[in-house]
Structure 1
Amino acid sequence: MNRFHELTAFIAVAEAGGFSAAARRTGLAQPAVSKAVAALEKRLGVALFNRSTRRVMLTDHGRRYLDRTRSMIEELDDADNEMTKSSLQVSGPVRISAAATFGRLHVLPLIPELLALHPALDVDVVLSDLTRDMVEDRVDLAIRIGPVDEPDAVVRSVAGTPLVCVGARRYFHQHGMPQTPADLVNHNCLVYGGLREATDWPFVGPDGPFSVSVRGNLSSNSIETIRAGVLAGVGIGFFTEASLVEDLSTPDVVTILDAFVRGVRDVNLVWPKRRFVPVRVRHTTEFFARAIARRLRRDGRAATRASPLTTEGPR
């Protein structure tokens, strides 16, 4: 019995949760599936499943083996599909993850264009401010803002988005406007993440980079929450420009301390490191590389047209 047949049977049982279901999925007889898995376990010298009369569950060895082998089978299937189909046909599932706010503003609007270009794709979009484990969540392409601390990932920077310190006009009319970053200690600063590094806002002065420790009465692990607080006049926020493009083009939200805010965050396309990248993922990556860069350039120009606030200093 060949190793490919053993692996196919093992993965089918693991994903289907049983031998009968795996047989229906693969079109094989149940005894053939059982025989293939048994041969694989004998060759490896370990039990891959815990079997009972009611269910079949992976052992620790089985889970580790599944993580290593499933991508190999997927890559082989992709290679077969790429050779047997027209090079112009891009098809199959692509799972994309992005931060919630950036995804809402810059990824979702591009999905219709992607599907019009490649109608045979099956796109699954996951929006979350949590950094997802790409392998565990089976994410093909992640779109992330800022540094990527994953040594096993492939990272491609496609654009940059400036940092901005912002507030609503109603807040500044009531509390005054900070004239220097040091003035922020007297203001209600809304913090994304609630972590130590999130409360130290970065600035640049005549002597180089420095940070100001800020505090306020609202923190959250959701950019949308901090954004809503700023729009409601609760306090001041620190964002990437890409997260506020809709708001900065209106007169209600204005940037402050522009002379001291010079940071830029990279917009990165990230995918798990592997020997073979499926054609559907390559084409999807190329699409977003072009489309996001184009979109951020356009939205950045629109945001700069927002009028500044003229007011007195802090009272």
Structure 2
Amino acid sequence: MDSLDGLKTVIAVVETGSFTTASERLMISKALVSKYVGEVEDKLGVRLFNRTTRRLALTDAGKTYYERALPLVEEYEELLDSVTGEQSAPKGKLKISVPVTFGEMQLSPVINKFLTTYSDIQVNIQLTDRRIDMLEEGVDVVIRIGGVDDSNMVARQINTYPLILCASPAYLNQHGYPKTPNDITSHSCIVDSNFRIGKQWPLVSPNGTVESIEVTSRIAANSPRAVMEIAKSGGGIALIPEFIVQDTLAQGLLLEVLPGYTTLEFGLFAIFPHRRYLSKKIRCFIDFMIDEFSSSAK
């Protein structure tokens, strides 16, 4: 076993909390993970983990080892990048967690451009709307739309996406076009249950007046794309992120309601662990996201 392999293996086991998940992260067998950890413990003459059939607990020695090993591995990776400089292309496996709708509609159509530019990087895109533990799941970058509340992570804001109030032409022709926020309270509305606002929709008038209205809704969905489809079918008025409905609006399948008013907007963030050194493959991906999705890229 190479000493660096031992360092990386112990780090992976600590951060994932299991030999099985560490093996998936490192792309080696569980048996090899166990062997590497055992060899490190034999060389040091101490136990790094207390193992039972049900759980894996880090010892005090293991905690010290992890805290000292982590900067060593980071410094080694930084050394490689600084020596090779721009002559070396970024390489390795990059695991990215992306919201389902953004991943399907925005990232998937352009990811091949990133792969073409960086031919030595392999990308694993995980589509999920749940909050994840980056260290435990071995994720390199999380793309998130909304707030960021984890102080242990670094968040790079890429863009902001406003919500658009919209409905189908058929629905508006049948039920009327709202002229004021209060008019919306008499309409059927579609609620995105991902939003904490629920049925309380804040609207800002052209002169800056803020008004919160309580909408009437018989249907909620936890997918903005599903909300859009329900609205297209005549289900009512919906609040949907602009990037999801921009093509549908352009095609006239949905119409903006109260176009002079604005409402919430959500930030698009790239999130990564708060470490001193950021690997070249992660830096290149974040730069790619900025090039593709920042407001200046429009």
- TM-score when normalising by structure 2: 0.80
Task: Decide whether aligned partners of structure 1 residues 34 and 161 sit closer, same or farther in structure 2, where only a CA change above 3 A counts.
Answer: closer
Could you say which residue in structure 2 is the equivalent of 1:308?
A: none
For 2:170, what is the secondary structure of its paired residue?
A: helix
Could you say which residue in structure 1 is the equivalent of 2:171?
A: 171
Is the Cα contact below 8 Å between 2:9 and 2:33 reproduced in 1? no
For 2:189, what is the secondary structure of its paired residue?
A: coil
Could you say which residue in structure 1 is the equivalent of 2:236?
A: 235
Larger Rg: 1
Could you say which residue in structure 2 is the equivalent of 1:60?
A: 57
For 1:216, what is the secondary structure of its paired residue?
A: strand
For 2:290, what is the secondary structure of its paired residue?
A: helix
For 1:186, what is the secondary structure of its paired residue?
A: coil
- Structure 2 unpaired stretches of 5+: 14-18
Is the Cα contact below 8 Å between 1:153 and 1:271 reproduced in 2? yes
Task: Decide whether aligned partners of structure 1 residues 174 and 267 sit closer, same or farther in structure 2, where only a CA change above 3 A counts.
Answer: same
Amino acid at match of 1:109: P
C-alpha distance in structure 2 between counterparts of 1:212 and 1:102, whole Å: 28
In the TM superposition, residue 74 of structure 1 has moved relative to its aligned partner by: 5.5
- Structure 1 unpaired stretches of 5+: 52-56, 298-315
Could you say which residue in structure 2 is the equivalent of 1:120?
A: 120
Amino acid at match of 2:46: K
Task: Decide whether aligned partners of structure 1 residues 231 and 116 sit closer, same or farther in structure 2, where only a CA change above 3 A counts.
Answer: same
Q: Deviations over 1:163-196 (max 9, x none)?
A: 2100111111221121111112111111111665
Amino acid at match of 1:124: N
For 2:135, what is the secondary structure of its paired residue?
A: coil
C-alpha distance in structure 2 between counterparts of 1:202 and 1:260, whole Å: 10
In the TM superposition, residue 232 of structure 1 has moved relative to its aligned partner by: 1.2
Task: Decide whether aligned partners of structure 1 residues 74 and 49 sit closer, same or farther in structure 2, where only a CA change above 3 A counts.
Answer: farther
Task: Decide whether aligned partners of structure 1 residues 41 and 219 sit closer, same or farther in structure 2, where only a CA change above 3 A counts.
Answer: farther
For 1:174, what is the secondary structure of its paired residue?
A: helix
Could you say which residue in structure 1 is the equivalent of 2:217?
A: 216
In the TM superposition, residue 218 of structure 1 has moved relative to its aligned partner by: 1.3
Taking only the aligned residue pairs, the percentage that are identical comes to 24
Is the Cα contact below 8 Å between 1:194 and 1:219 reproduced in 2? no
C-alpha distance in structure 2 between counterparts of 1:48 and 1:80, whole Å: 33
Could you say which residue in structure 2 is the equivalent of 1:36?
A: 40
In the TM superposition, residue 16 of structure 1 has moved relative to its aligned partner by: 4.1
- What is the number of residues matched between the two proteins? 282
Q: Deviations over 1:285-311 (max 9, x none)?
A: 1111111126862xxxxxxxxxxxxxx
C-alpha distance in structure 2 between counterparts of 1:245 and 1:296, whole Å: 16
- TM-score when normalising by structure 1: 0.76
Deviates more, 1:92-101 or 1:264-273: 264-273
